[in-house]
Amino acid sequence: MLKLGVIGTNWISKMFVDAAEATQAYTLTSVYSRREASGREFSESAAIYTDLEAFFTSGIDVVYIASPNSLHFQQVAQAIEHDVQVIVEKSAFSNPKEFEKIYSILREHPTVHLFEAARHIHQDNFKAIEAQVADMDVISGATFVYEKYSSRFDAYLAGEEPNVLTRTFSAGALTDLGVYPIYAIVKLFGLPEDVYYFATKLANGADGRGTAILRYADFDITAQFGKMANSYQRSEILGRKDTILIDNIAELGDVTYVDADGKSVEISTTAPENPMMAEAQVFADIINDPDAHTDEYEELFMLSQRVNMVLTQLRQSAGIEFPADHA
């Protein structure tokens, strides 16, 4: 059983720990938090650390990192240098420069794997979408929507600077919520030929919401996402006369295929109660038997790298810079 350490004590960390332990492939042994009280509130049984060096030398096999985006690079690098397997929340890194540096460190530690926790692409309902797309004769275009009001936006309106809405932490709508549709698009259709991002910027320069256009040789894909409004619009993948309808590109609760005659067929199954179980199992399988999963791991790593590149290109097209870009 893999000894799991966690950096970050927010709700998503709790969800991952629950998913990981439900697979029976992990056991939580260590938690890092800047404040011991927060760590103890997160787990009553795990060892709590407020020092990263002590945390990484505590005997953990794998770390799940869910700290602010701008902190990922240093924490991932430190984990790799201690030969600890890494699962890092999306967005993994601020830019391709950071990704390349991490890749160089990984080459010096060949037994370590790096995974980006893009949970939705591992779920059965996403695989059903992939299979249906592969079976469609023509792709005419697509629209992906993931827009929901953030409780942290209230704090922003009150004059605060929430981590998820500030460029200081390499954050904003694109890197927090837009990463879901962008991951899906790149996984389904590969790298686009060109990208454009029309961002609604906040007073601090971060993007509160926006619309991205990814151009391919024969079609365009639109992604709409944000943290300052709620959208209930479905996502769609257009064939010629057939269409895939998706209730929510991140949650993937209901997926329907409408054929050329207008007949609807539900191609989804009941979504798991914890949407992170599938990825947790995939990561454990690769860690425990890397030789049997070499191709799968390389595909995931390349996908993560491509998504990082597309996110950066989109951000640059909107004139959004992070302090990490100049580090």
Domain ranges of the chain: 2-112, 122-277+307-326
In one letter, which amino acid is 99?
F
Task: Please determine whether the domains at 2-112 and 122-277+307-326 fall in the same fold group of CATH.
Answer: no
Task: Kindly report the CATH number that applies to the domain delimited by 2-112.
Answer: 3.40.50.720
H or E stretch including 101?
helix 96-107
Nearest CA among 118, 210, 203 for reference residue 166: 203
Nearest CA among 230, 276, 257, 254 for reference residue 18: 276
pLDDT mean over 143-154: 96
From CA 203, how far away is CA 223, in angstroms rounded?
23
Q: Each residue of 258-291: pLDDT tens digit?
A: 999 999 999 999 988 999 999 999 999 999 999 9
Q: How far is CA 220 from the centre of its chain?
A: 22
pLDDT mean over 190-209: 98
Q: What was the pLDDT predicted at 233?
A: 97
pLDDT mean over 41-58: 96
Lowest-confidence segment of 35-44, 181-190, 256-265, 314-323 by average pLDDT: 35-44
Q: What was the pLDDT predicted at 298?
A: 98
From CA 166, how far away is CA 216, in angstroms rounded?
31
140 confidence band (pLDDT: 50, 70, 90):
very high
From CA 276, how far away is CA 118, in angstroms rounded?
9
From CA 242, how far away is CA 219, in angstroms rounded?
15
225 confidence band (pLDDT: 50, 70, 90):
very high
Q: Each residue of 25-38: pLDDT tens digit?
A: 999 999 999 999 99
pLDDT higher than 90, residue 327? no
82 confidence band (pLDDT: 50, 70, 90):
very high
Q: What was the pLDDT predicted at 4?
A: 98
Domain 122-277+307-326: CATH architecture, name and number where available: 2-Layer Sandwich (3.30)
User: What would the two tokens of residue 308 be?
Assistant: 């990082």
Contact (CB, 8 A) for 19 and 123: no
pLDDT mean over 90-112: 98
pLDDT mean over 113-131: 98
Q: What's the pTM?
A: 0.97
Percent of the chain at pLDDT > 70 equals 100
From CA 28, how far away is CA 19, in angstroms rounded?
11
From CA 106, how far away is CA 81, in angstroms rounded?
8
Nearest CA among 242, 291, 295, 247 for reference residue 268: 247
pLDDT higher than 90, residue 177? yes
